[in-house]
Chains A and B, each alone.
Chain A
């Protein structure tokens, strides 16, 4: 596709379950970013990938959060043992180069009951 895509668009889960969120960046973009948008915290950075490596994981809120990227393309954000405070919109962005303009996907709305 022409833009960044994310799936699922909505996810409702029970507290304690694990969830996986997927991001397909724009083809050819080497940099990929995950952000989280919540009512109380605004938009906050989670993790950044250059190719398949993640030089900056500083924004991950706890060790329940992990992410990987394979083939320099698709990325998966995994949240283990979800908590209610994990409820938010998870946004993925990609850019052609490390310093380039970032383009965002539509987001995944996660609701933890």
Chain B
């Protein structure tokens, strides 16, 4: 069973600072890794999907990398803004099934 860990559990930074969120997983036979954002009381918004054949994906200020050999993914958010405050979740899908196993999330606060 895929186990996903996210460190740190919470992060507070001043506006403008770059954010680095870490995700580790136990099964290197990961098929997809997906990063989500969740605002309080809301559903999950998909940010980036990295497929197993890829090493990174970029969307605007967001960049996510995937290193299957070390079992790690990192989400970088450049020049953070107060609107980036949310909980960020990473989730991995195995090669035999595509259900997502989620980490507990990193709650980010960007101070104005």
Contacts and interface: CB of A to CB of B under 8 A. Distances in A.
Contact of A102 (B34, B42, B51): B34
A99 B101 contact: no
Given A42-B104, A91-B43, A91-B44, A101 B98 contact: no
Contacts of B93: 99
A44 B103 CA distance: 10
Interface stretch (A60-68, A70-78, A103-111): A103-111
Interface in A36-84: 42-45, 48, 56, 59
B99 interface: yes
Contacts of B31: 99
B45 to A, nearest CB: 8
Which of A33, A43, A95, A100 has the most chain B CB atoms inside 10 A of its CB? Answer: A43
Contacts of B105: 42
Contacts of B99: 33, 45, 48, 56, 59
- A interface secondary structure, majority: strand
Contacts of B32: 99, 101
Interface string B90-109: 01010001111111110000
Contacts of B36: 104
B64 to A, nearest CB: 13
A102 B100 contact: yes
Interface of A: 31, 33, 35, 42-45, 48, 56, 59, 91, 93, 95, 98-107
In order of increasing CB-CB distance, the 9 nearest A-B pairs are A43-B102, A104-B44, A106-B43, A45-B99, A101-B49, A104-B43, A107-B43, A42-B104, A99-B98
Given A48-B97, A101-B46, A107-B43, 13 more contacts: A33-B99, A43-B100, A45-B100, A48-B98, A91-B43, A98-B98, A99-B31, A99-B32, A99-B98, A104-B43, A104-B45, A104-B46, A105-B43
